[in-house]
Amino acid sequence: MIKIQKKDFNIDIEIKKIKLNYSNIGATSIFLGNVRNVNENQKVKFIELEVYKDMAIKTLDTICLKAKKKWNLIDTLIIHRYGKLNINDKIVLVAVFSSHRKDSFEACNYIMNYLKKDAPFWKKEYYNKKYKWL
């Protein structure tokens, strides 16, 4: 499942919703990305995330399908936020569900790497008196 949304989410609730559909999940690996207060020695006040939503959904869907071909996975979940995000806010959640940990660990890393490389999101970081597109 892919969700691109402005609003915050609750990790436990999101994981639970997926697990309700299965009884064979033995391993869940998650990656959670948050907004940091410092980047390249500059104090960050907040960030804005822009997204090409339709393409992001398609791209992330393709990445998950590729992961499912490489590893033995039961399900995947990606939630990526956009809009204004403050320090410590959640940015992205990648959760991978499998029977055994090796599949979920490796697939989670794979999905996150390709998300960083290909998913059409752009960060705009705001500092004290200026901003920068990353």
Residues interacting with other proteins, by CB under 8 A?
33, 49-52, 54-56, 58-59, 80, 91-92, 112, 115-124, 133-134
The smaller minimum CB distance to other proteins, of residues 73 and 91, is found at 91
Least distance to other proteins, CB of residue 120, Å: 5
Amino acid (1-letter code) at residue 109: N
Phi, psi of 52 (to 5 degrees): -100, 90
Least distance between other proteins and beta carbon 72 (Å):
25
In angstroms, what is the minimal distance from the CB of 90 to other proteins? 12
What contacts 129, CB < 8 A, 6 or more positions away?
none
Please name every residue paired with 85 in a beta bridge, in sequence order, or none if there are none: 47
